[in-house]
Chain A
Amino acid sequence: NAGVTQTPKFQVLKTGQSMTLQCAQDMNHNSMYWYRQDPGMGLRLIYYSASEGTTDKGEVPNGYNVSRLNKREFSLRLESAAPSQTSVYFCASSRVYEQYFGPGTRLTVT
């Protein structure tokens, strides 16, 4: 039982490049989330998916897109990376009030 997994763990992009962050959970949870974490800013919600087939914007969605591929997988895409998107990205899934987080992706955009 791996919980929530994320790939890659680390990534360096140049401004304007694109990439997709992958997330998968094996807990049969309906809801999944993408957060970014910047120093002193806590966790901010980018997008979430309350169930397979639905996605909604969170607090900071600009510059990102998501896909809920199936119940297990929820990906985050940066179409044209900017230095302001340098951050640590966490995926999470939830069962009612408890959220389970993946190990994070540390992204640097130069």
Chain B
Amino acid sequence: GQSLEQPSEVTAVEGAIVQINCTYQTSGFYGLSWYQQHDGGAPTFLSYNALDGLEETGRFSSFLSRSDSYGYLLLQELQMKDSASYFCAVFNSGYSTLTFGKGTMLLVSP
């Protein structure tokens, strides 16, 4: 089966940089994704990494190291609106389904 570990909560101040880590155990690896969910809202897709390295999308970047079964989401120039839960997720075989981590709640303070 698949399992993912990520911190339950991270706090930071506006304008700072924060990194949310995710380690995974999986029988077959097809890629690591990140989703954002604001309180009371639906999850929304942020990024996907299939290969090692850093993927950048605006203020958000995602990193993957397949040899270490590890990835992280990097958020720069934090804004209050970035306060949300962030989930890492791995694909099961052939992109059929995703297994999600339990989520990291990010609290951004002024």
Contact = CB atoms under 8 A, between A and B. Distances in A.
A44 B99 CA distance: 7
A61 interface: no
How big is chain B's contact interface, by range? 20 to 34
A90 B31 contact: no
Contacts of A40: 8, 102
B48 interface: yes
B32 to A, nearest CB: 10
B81 to A, nearest CB: 19
Nearest to B30: A97
Contacts of A48: 96-97
A32 to B, nearest CB: 11
A32 B8 CA distance: 28
A42 interface: yes
Interface of A: 31, 33, 40-45, 48, 50, 58-59, 90, 94, 96-104
Top-6 shortest CB links A-B? A101-B42, A42-B102, A43-B100, A42-B100, A97-B48, A98-B45
